[in-house]
Amino acid sequence: MAGFRFTKKQVSQFHQDGYVIAPGLFDTKLMDLLLKIARNDPEFVGKAHVMPDAAGNASRIAITMKMSNDVYTAFVHSEKIVNPMEQVLGGEVYHLHHKMMLKEPKIGGAWEWHQDYGYWYNDGYLLPDLASCMIAVDRAYKGNGCLQVLRGSSRMGRIEHGRFGGQVGANPERVAEIAKKQELVYVEMNPGDALFFHCNTLHRSDPNTSNDPRWSLICCYNAAHNPPFRPSHAPYEKLEKWKDTQIKAVAKEQLATLVPA
C-alpha cells in the first residue's frame, strides 16, 4: 500500500458516512514495534492520565501536541494517513495532536457519545475541516470496547456538549434522536487497520469487560486553510510525508534505547 490514497468511492463514503475503514493499512511488523515500544516506555506510560466515565470506570489517555523524534510522532508523518486526509479535507493538512488510548482489561471505562468538534470548536476553528485517523494497535472488538459510530451523523452539524462523569459528551437528548435515524456501527479492527473519521462524527465506546487490552493510536489533523482565530496550542507547521521504512527506522532506534539487545 505504498503511497496509499483513497479511491473516489472512499472519498465519497467519507463525506456521506463520516468515516472510512482502511484494513491492513500498516503491516504486522510495524504494529508489533509500536506496541513493544509503548509497553516498555516509562515516560509514555507516566504521562497517560485517567479519564473516568459516568459509571466510575476509567480509561487512560496519553495526548501530546508536541512533535518529537519518537514512533508516535513518526506515524503522524505517514503518507498513508496524510494523503487521504488531504483528499477528504480539501488540501494541505497539518498536525493538531496525537494520542494513545489505553483501555485495559476489565477496568477500561466507556467513552460517552461525543464529536471531536464538540471540543475543538471552542479552540477557535471556524470550519469543521478536521479529522482523525485511529490505528488499531491491539485487536478491537465488541468485547473489549471497540469504537462505535453513528453512520452519517457528521452531516447533522455540531452538537452542544456538556460534562457527564469525568468526560465531556454530546447532548443526550439530541443523540437519542439521531440514534433513531442513523445506523450504529461497531468498528471492529485488527492491528494495523485504520479508521479515518470526520470531526463531527458521533462516536463512543463501551467498557472493556474482556481479558484483552484495547490500545489505539489516534492522529488528528486540521486543514491548512482553517487556522484558528485564537492563539493555538497546535500552530501550523509544514508536515513532511514519510514512508513506512522511515517510520520503522525511527521505531527500531527508539526500541533499542528501551530494550537493549
Span 125-184, pLDDT tens digits: 999 999 999 999 999 999 999 999 999 999 999 998 887 555 678 888 999 999 999 999
Q: What is the pLDDT of residue 233?
A: 85
* Number of Cβ within a 10 Å radius of residue 63: 14
The amino acid at 48: A
Q: In CATH, what number is assigned to the domain containing residue 143?
A: 2.60.120.620
- Residue 55 CB contacts under 8 Å (≥ 6 apart), including other chains: 109, 110, 165, 207
Q: What is the pLDDT of residue 167?
A: 65
- Residue 202 CB contacts under 8 Å (≥ 6 apart), including other chains: 113, 114, 115, 149, 150, 153, 154, 159, 170, 175, 178, 182
Closest by CA position to 44, among listed 64, 65, 74, 67: 64
CB 34 within 8 A of CB 218: no
Portion of the chain with pLDDT greater than 90, in percent: 77
The answer as to whether 224 is a domain residue is no
Q: Give me the mean pLDDT over the 20-43 stretch.
A: 94
Range of the domain at 109: 17-212+231-258
Q: Give me the mean pLDDT over the 25-53 stretch.
A: 87
The answer as to whether 25 is a domain residue is yes
The answer as to whether 3 is a domain residue is no
Average pLDDT, the chain: 92
Return the sign of the alpha-carbon dihedral for residues 147, 149, 154, 157: negative
Is the model's pLDDT at 46 over the cut of 80? no
The answer as to whether 130 is a domain residue is yes
Count of domains observed in the chain: 1
208-244 pLDDT, tens digit per residue, is 999 999 999 999 999 999 999 998 888 999 999 999 9
SS3 68: coil
For residue 174, give the C-alpha cell.
Answer: 439530541
The answer as to whether 226 is a domain residue is no
Portion of the chain with pLDDT greater than 70, in percent: 97
Cα dihedral angle (122, 125, 131, 132), rounded to 10 degrees?
-50
The answer as to whether 217 is a domain residue is no
CB 69 within 8 A of CB 63: no
pLDDT band at 1 (very low <50, low <70, confident <90, very high): very low
pLDDT band at 78 (very low <50, low <70, confident <90, very high): very high
pLDDT band at 261 (very low <50, low <70, confident <90, very high): low
The answer as to whether 190 is a domain residue is yes
pLDDT band at 118 (very low <50, low <70, confident <90, very high): very high
Specify the range with the lowest mean pLDDT, choosing from 35-44, 210-219, 250-259.
35-44
The answer as to whether 6 is a domain residue is no
E strands present in the chain: 19-22, 49-52, 58-64, 93-103, 111-114, 130-136, 147-150, 161-164, 167-170, 184-186, 194-198, 203-205, 214-223
